[in-house]
Amino acid sequence: MEVGNILEVTLFAEIPVPEDIKEMLVNGEEAVESYKTFRDSVTFTTKRIIVRDSQGMTGKKVEIYSIPYKIIDIWSSENAKGMFDFNSEIELWTRTGNFKIKLDKKIDIREIDMLIANAVL
């Protein structure tokens, strides 16, 4: 049985941690970095990855995906080095499915890779 992609996001630039995400953090959890996506944001914390997805025309309805690092079985990172490579990519494999995170060339993939490694290993 093949497990498909559950979620795919593209990170464009680092941003301040959104206030509503700060309110979601549990005791002992800290926000490390947040990034702008097409419509919203992804925040890496010390315990999980939080994907904030505004929906609808007004964006008032918000869906939050919380991906605890402890469910990540393996991950891969692919850097963009060629002239026609526009995005680097990190893929996370879990028992639930795959999560794909694409990174704009401006974002350092090794920084994200180390963030995940420090949380998972």
Are 31 and 20 in contact by the 8 Å Cβ rule? The answer is: no
The dihedral region occupied by 97, where left means phi > 0, alpha psi between -120 and 50, and beta the remainder, is left
pLDDT at 2: 46
Q: Is 1 exposed, middle or buried (0-12, 13-18, 19+ CB in 10 A)?
A: exposed
How far apart, in whole angstroms, are the C-alpha atoms of residue 35 and residue 11? 6
Tens digit of pLDDT for each residue in 63-73? 899 999 999 99
Average pLDDT, the chain: 89
Element (H, E) at 102: strand 98-104
Q: What range does the domain containing 21 cover?
A: 5-120
Angstrom distance (rounded) from CA 115 to CA 52: 19
- Count of structural domains within the chain: 1
Please report, for the domain that includes residue 71, its CATH number.
Answer: 2.30.29.50
Neighbours of 111 (CB within 10 A): 13
- What pLDDT, on the 0 to 100 scale, is given for residue 1? 35
d(CA 48, CA 34): 12
- pLDDT tens track for 9-19: 999 999 999 99
Task: List the structure tokens of 5.
Answer: 């992609």
